[in-house]
Chain A
């Protein structure tokens, strides 16, 4: 069976959540609300952060982690886009519970020596898990800081031995309309598909996450395994992956099919290239507080030093 075994955790990320995160205005308001409404909110927060279930063992990766304040577990697990569960940002949290991420297998196909159906455990070395604290920048101009737990995608790809003509890796999200109510509506062309160049996929910043805040991923965040590519807009980081395909030509991607002039294949975070309908120059950091101002968006989401060389000589305006 392909479940990630429960075990004791080395460091509890929830314990290093900085005070500043909790001292924002919204929390103050919530505290007032809690005092007046009883324990409902308080119980929810404590429950979701302190539950000892599904803990993962991992080691922190400081080289690739930011020291910025983390978003709270509550924010990360109640506010995100996962259209498979609905188009509202609270939908993944509200309608994700029917989804069954265990057992899980992934079909690997295309230009590789090792193809076939793999259990989650075959692909992900549970003893090699790292924590990566990454910025996440959504194409909608909001952002978070998230402590992912996962392994470099490169380590999985090496195992699968892609052939020389495998220039791209394509990914697919599982299609289960019975468990994913959003898939019963034609919001996007289901199943959700994404892709990376082989160079991007092999980059040390690119990871497959299986957890966050030291615990297994919840359904709403893309359980049991998802991509995290921190220098690209969030929609590139495809969730609940059950197919990986190596190929020589550029893969199609869901958002590019949906609106080709708005969402490109590369989708690198770029403050200088606006979305046709809104500016990408600034972003709202979730949890910055009710009167927190927007902050400037950084080139490649602040990872330019590590990834800019992947795109030298390419017009990022044309290849948005």
Chain B
């Protein structure tokens, strides 16, 4: 079981490895706007892994594959890893680390407020998953899951809102989010009061 989880984890870092190889000129490089390429790539993979994290529970519910029950935390952390890279690329490279500029940019740009809020949600979950908070983390599963849902909703919204014309991926992500939320609501109404 552990081996399978490890392999899945390794695979989930492939997009990051590919991005780094592109930064060094392999696979056609990052193109004329490397900062944008890195920001978009890390952001899109962050959202994909967030949605995957949320999809694991219903997938387990129907398939009863034990391994799926072990995955939400590691895959959630992978999502956090991509989102953190996305945020750092924006803050340190795109905005040159200038805090004053970043604050003004976030205030002036509505989709950045949404993205920033989603990032804070994930940051809280990420910090709570450290070993020293392990007990708290395990006791507050519903808070954690609520934060991840909120982060995913804000993330998809952030992605959707910055596009000039809606892309297939944004539509697909939105549809999956809605389905996941509906499933979650149905399950919680079925179970409650438990």
Query: Are the CB atoms of B34 and A26 closer together than 8 Å?
Result: yes
Q: CB of B4 within 8 A of chain A?
A: no
With the chains together, A258 CA to B28 CA distance in Å? 33
With the chains together, A279 CA to B164 CA distance in Å? 14
Q: CB of B146 within 8 A of chain A?
A: no
Query: Are the CB atoms of B105 and A90 closer together than 8 Å?
Result: no
With the chains together, A187 CA to B167 CA distance in Å? 8
Select one of A33, A87, A90, A290 contacting B35, CB under 8 A.
A290
| A76 (CB) vs chain B CBs: closest residue | B32
Minimal beta-carbon separation of A82 from chain B (angstroms): 13
A30 cross-chain contacts in B, Cβ below 8 A: 25, 29
Query: Are the CB atoms of A74 and B25 closer together than 8 Å?
Result: no
Select one of A34, A142, A277, A294 contacting B162, CB under 8 A.
A277
Known: A33-B25, A187-B165, A277-B162. A79 touches B33 (CB 8 A): yes
Chain A, interface size category, equals 35 or more
| A83 (CB) vs chain B CBs: closest residue | B165
B66 cross-chain contacts in A, Cβ below 8 A: none
B59 cross-chain contacts in A, Cβ below 8 A: none
Query: Are the CB atoms of A33 and B29 closer together than 8 Å?
Result: yes
| A75 (CB) vs chain B CBs: closest residue | B32
Select one of B33, B96, B104, B110 contacting A277, CB under 8 A.
B110
Interface residues of B in 85-142 (CB under 8 A from A): 93-96, 104-105, 108-111
Query: Are the CB atoms of A290 and B93 closer together than 8 Å?
Result: yes
Query: Are the CB atoms of A278 and B108 closer together than 8 Å?
Result: yes
A294 cross-chain contacts in B, Cβ below 8 A: 94-96
Query: Are the CB atoms of B165 and A278 closer together than 8 Å?
Result: no
B183 cross-chain contacts in A, Cβ below 8 A: none
B105 cross-chain contacts in A, Cβ below 8 A: 279
Interface size on B, residues (CB 8 A): 28
Query: Are the CB atoms of A278 and B25 closer together than 8 Å?
Result: no
Query: Are the CB atoms of A41 and B162 closer together than 8 Å?
Result: no
| B161 (CB) vs chain A CBs: closest residue | A277
Query: Are the CB atoms of A90 and B31 closer together than 8 Å?
Result: yes
Interface 1/0 per residue, A193-223 and B, CB below 8 Å: 0000000000000000000000000000000
Select one of B32, B104, B108, B165 contacting A188, CB under 8 A.
B165
Minimal beta-carbon separation of A77 from chain B (angstroms): 9
Interface 1/0 per residue, B17-43 and A, CB below 8 Å: 000000111101111111110000000
Query: Are the CB atoms of A37 and B165 closer together than 8 Å?
Result: no
Known: A74-B32, A140-B164, A284-B35. A29 touches B110 (CB 8 A): no
With the chains together, A161 CA to B93 CA distance in Å? 52
Interface residues of B in 144-169 (CB under 8 A from A): 161-162, 164-165, 167
- From B25, B29, B111, B167, name the one whose CB has the most chain A CB atoms within 10 angstroms: B25
| A255 (CB) vs chain B CBs: closest residue | B164
Query: Are the CB atoms of B165 and A87 closer together than 8 Å?
Result: yes
| B92 (CB) vs chain A CBs: closest residue | A291
Select one of A87, A142, A259 contacting B36, CB under 8 A.
A142
With the chains together, A294 CA to B93 CA distance in Å? 10
A279 cross-chain contacts in B, Cβ below 8 A: 104-105, 108-109
A36 cross-chain contacts in B, Cβ below 8 A: 24-26
With the chains together, A34 CA to B27 CA distance in Å? 11
Query: Are the CB atoms of A284 and B33 closer together than 8 Å?
Result: yes
Query: Are the CB atoms of B165 and A29 closer together than 8 Å?
Result: no
Q: CB of A7 within 8 A of chain B?
A: no
| A80 (CB) vs chain B CBs: closest residue | B32
Q: CB of A78 within 8 A of chain B?
A: yes
With the chains together, A286 CA to B111 CA distance in Å? 23
Interface residues of A in 57-80 (CB under 8 A from B): 71, 74-75, 78-79
Known: A258-B165, A278-B108, A279-B109. A89 touches B23 (CB 8 A): no
Q: CB of A128 within 8 A of chain B?
A: no
With the chains together, A83 CA to B140 CA distance in Å? 47
With the chains together, A250 CA to B28 CA distance in Å? 44
What 14 additional pairs, Cβ within 8 angstroms, besides A29-B25, A33-B24, A290-B93? A29-B34, A32-B24, A41-B28, A71-B32, A75-B32, A79-B32, A89-B33, A90-B31, A139-B164, A258-B165, A274-B108, A279-B109, A281-B108, A291-B93
Chain A residues packing against B (C-beta within 8 Å): 26, 29-34, 36-37, 41, 71, 74-75, 78-79, 83, 87, 89-90, 139-140, 142, 187-188, 258-259, 274, 276-279, 281, 284, 286-287, 290-291, 293-294
Chain B residues packing against A (C-beta within 8 Å): 23-26, 28-36, 93-96, 104-105, 108-111, 161-162, 164-165, 167
7 A-B pairs in the complex with CB atoms less than 8 angstroms apart: A30-B29, A78-B32, A139-B164, A278-B109, A278-B111, A293-B96, A294-B95
